Structure 1
Amino acid sequence: MTPSTTRLLARTTSKFSSLYHRPDQQCIRAFSRTCLRQQDEKPPAPTPSLLTKLALDSRLRPGQAQKNTAQSNMSDIKNILAQNTISRVLGQTSSSSESILSGPSGDTEDLGPAHEPFHFHIYAHKHNTHITVTKPNRGAIVSLSAGNIGFKKSKRGSYDAAFQLCAYVLDKLNQGGWHRKITALEVVLRGFGAGREAATKVLLGNEGRLLRPLIKRVSDSTRLKFGGTRSPRPRRLG
């Protein structure tokens, strides 16, 4: 290697060393202390703005309003029950309890024409007994058969089943307060089963004491056949 080449390499090395000059230890220590100080110093929590507060209030208001509404409804119900209890003790009927029974609007139910009576239908055949109580507008109040109160198979057509069925229907009507709403009652009999006489006994007995004064007419709507198809052969036992 010639002296000129050696001098050229020395100049080049000095240039690169000046470009990639490493900082001294004091600079590194000072830089690290600054970073640690910045990490230790946490920024203060931002204060919620007015819009954020309004948004939170709007989120909380519906639930709070529902809670307040439920509390007010419970207090109203308690007041109504207390007034109803006091009126029962005094033998009076409170207007608040009447408004609850009549509905939210306070309008009475349209039962139908005033000249039409209520109907007590008794359909008794040899297999079962059906009782239906209807309003003057022909809407059914209660409709039950002996099978609905627990009688099965051949027991549904018995006298005892019809007796218990009619007593159950009258008890349901009395519990619903229909003996106060019924002004006139028509008993409609159909069929010649055991339930025909049983229902008549119940209406004339102690169970029908509230509805018996309201009965204005008793009619029979048993179907009669004029000619028609041939009847089945009579059943022969023994």
Structure 2
Amino acid sequence: MLRLAQGLRTALRVPRAPLVQMPRYAHSVQDPAASQPTDANASAAVSEAKSDTMPAKEEPERVSLESAVEFSLPGFTASETVKETESVPPPTRESNAPHRLHVQSTRNNTIVTLTMPTGEPLTNASGGTVGFKKAGRSGYEAGYRAALRVFSRISENQARWRINSIEVLWNGFGQGREAVFRAIMASEGEQVRNMIKVMTDKTPIKIGGVRPKKRRML
């Protein structure tokens, strides 16, 4: 029986795992009870010593707007760029260019139109809008009254439309052409006459071209 028990013990013996050598640390482990200070002064001294020996926690670097602008635009600072943008006045559209007074006089009508320097119309008048009908729209009196109506609107809205100077553009050789010129030279057109800087005749003239239409015989 004794031999049988010894044989069972050898058969059931579990093999042991090989021993692993643990690395040795340079510092020694202190007793936590011995490291605790006995009084308040000692605890304060220990805390100060720890704060001196332990490195301060580095905060993440914050990048300001000025440094970002300086980094992106070498040679310029954010303050300089802001000053430059503030000093530049807002652009004005054709502030020095003169307004245009178009006078179109044909055999059938006389049209006077005031436009901005860029071409947008502001006001207009014609022989028909002042009360003349049919053939009377192309007469002298119709052109004179149309010019006076446009002059009155110019004097009323000069500040709102920012009218500093006017360029007169003539087109056509009808009776209204002479009427508008007389209205400018009259006392009613004195304010407009003082603002006129240039007069241009843009009437198209035929040079060559096709054969004209047969003249109507009455």
What TM-score does the superposition give when structure 1 sets the normalisation length?
0.50
Counterpart of 1:131? 112
Q: CA deviation at 1:217?
A: 0.6
Root-mean-square deviation (CA), in Å?
Answer: 2.0
Structure 2 Cα separation of the partners of residues 234 and 220 of structure 1: 27
- Within the alignment, does 1:193 sit opposite 2:174 as a pair? yes
Counterpart of 1:158? 139
The structure whose residues are more often helix, as a share, is: 1
- CA offsets per residue over residues 77-127 of structure 1, 9 Å max, x none? xxxxxxxxxxxxxxxxxxxxxxxxxxxxxxxxx973133211000000111
Structure 1: gaps spanning 5 or more residues: 1-109
Structure 2: gaps spanning 5 or more residues: 1-90
Counterpart of 1:211? 192
The higher radius of gyration belongs to 2
- CA offsets per residue over residues 115-142 of structure 1, 9 Å max, x none? 3211000000111001110111211111
The amino acid of 2:147's aligned partner reads C
What TM-score does the superposition give when structure 2 sets the normalisation length?
0.54
Within a 5 Å distance, the mapping from 1:101-180 to structure 2 comes to: 112-178=93-159
Q: How many aligned residue pairs are there?
A: 128
Structure 1 Cα separation of the partners of residues 160 and 127 of structure 2: 23
The amino acid of 1:197's aligned partner reads E
CA contact (8 A) 2:116 2:122 kept: yes
Structure 1 Cα separation of the partners of residues 147 and 120 of structure 2: 19
Q: CA deviation at 1:180?
A: 8.1
CA 1:114–1:175: 2 relative to 1, 3 Å: closer
Stretches of 4+ moved more than 6 A in 1? none
